[in-house]
Amino acid sequence: MAKLTWHGHSCFSLETDEGTRILIDPWLDENPAADIKAKDIEELDFILVSHGHSDHMADLIPLAKRTGATVVSTFELVAFAQGKGAKNGHGMNIGGGHQFPFGRVKLTPALHTGSIHGDDEGAFTTDPAGFLITLNGGTRLYHAGDTALIMDMQLLKGQVDVAILPIGDNYTMGPEDAARAVEFIEPKVVIPMHYNTFPLIQQDPAAFRDRVGGRAEVRVMEPGQSIEI
């Protein structure tokens, strides 16, 4: 089975049963909720980035340069990362998928804003995305990225085993809309993210669990905690 670890906010690491090491939305050094720092990550194969805001990619460039990990994101964001010294990258676009050694990744729509942290000249724009990851072992993981509740989520019904959804409100959907997203997607397990990092997105994950009810198993994780999927 694959091991999924939450590092606070929207940052997760995923180690497949084949040993592939994946990091999603790398924000560690300035993340007040993170259990580790970027320097603690010694080896990495892929970095998936949902969009360009600093709380999702602030540690992307140094990690990609030091580990040689392949950056997977929208075409524009990957081009930006490579222009900053990331050696390996795979650009995609919304709705497209690609078969990687660890499984298939499809970029899903996310309704959010999309500036790129570090693009001081404003030369790059990008659309935010989520990730539908189908591991070689068959497990289907959906990391929604930063998003509002959108009707497109209904298209994921029956395709997701584990859904990682933001519940913080203000910048993303809150607990009520996230519970509606669970209705749309019908995952087996749902993990809340993007909450309690700072006061503006303070939420009670137990209340979110109550809203979801019996529609899915809600796994509330603490930073540094791992589960098998």
Q: Domains of the chain: which residue ranges?
A: 3-219
> Above 80 in pLDDT, residue 106?
yes
Find the Cα–Cα–Cα–Cα dihedral 206, 29, 51, 186, rounded to 10°: -20
User: Tokens standing for 90?
Assistant: 């795979």
Residue pLDDT, tens place only, 30-59:
999 999 999 999 999 999 999 999 999 999
Per CATH, which fold does 3-219 belong to?
Metallo-beta-lactamase; Chain A (3.60.15)
pLDDT of residue 217: 98
Find the Cα–Cα–Cα–Cα dihedral 104, 109, 113, 118, rounded to 10°: 20
Helix, strand, coil share of the chain (percent; to 5): 25, 25, 50
- CA Rg, the chain, in Å? 16
Distance CA 86, CA 78 (A): 9
User: Tokens standing for 122?
Assistant: 């404003």
124 falls in which pLDDT band (50, 70, 90)? low
120 falls in which pLDDT band (50, 70, 90)? low
Residue pLDDT, tens place only, 140-170:
999 999 999 999 999 999 999 999 999 999 9
Distance CA 116, CA 90 (A): 17
Q: What percent of the chain has pLDDT over 70?
A: 96
Based on the number of CB atoms within 10 Å of its own CB, is 62 exposed (0-12), middle (13-18) or buried (19 or more)?
Answer: middle
Distance CA 123, CA 109 (A): 22
Closest of 222, 215, 202, 115 to residue 160, by C-alpha: 215
